[in-house]
Amino acid sequence: MTIHNFNGDVIPYCEAQGLAKVFQAYADHCTNESIFEIGFNENSGYVYIALEGLNITICSMLGRDVEYLVTNFDNGEETFFDTYEEALRLTDESYK
């Protein structure tokens, strides 16, 4: 797997902490879900794991607690949640 948008072979401390947290959240809640992409968003400062097909991204900014981002690709709206279950509920409602 490729980790996108890190320059060189070094991951800064806060981003490394964030990656550890998003991988732990993935392990705790959604290991059966396919990963679309792993990376760092230079504009927002978030490290992330984007899940394939769910419109859910597990993210952390500067090593802070994990957030679950649900993106509505029809209108561009982004909603953050504290738990994976809350994010899943919104995606379930979006597909009804």
What is this structure's pTM? 0.89
Q: Pairing between strand 78-81 and 67-71? A: antiparallel
**DSSP readout, 1-44?**
--EET--TT---HHHHHHHHHHHHHHHHH-TTSPEEEEEE-TTT
Whether 51 contacts 35, CB under 8 Å: yes
SS3 89: helix
With a CB cutoff of 8 Å and minimum separation 6, the contacts of 15 are 6, 40, 47, 62, 63
Q: Which of 68, 61, 66, 65 is nearest to 33 (CA)?
A: 68
88: exposed, middle or buried (C-beta count within 10 Å: 0-12, 13-18, 19+)? middle
Can you give the residue range of the structural domain that contains 67? 3-94
Q: What is the pLDDT along the chain (96 residues), one digit of tens a residue?
A: 788 888 778 899 999 999 999 999 999 999 899 999 999 999 999 999 999 988 899 999 999 999 999 988 888 889 999 999 999 998 866 554
Q: What total number of domains does the chain contain? A: 1
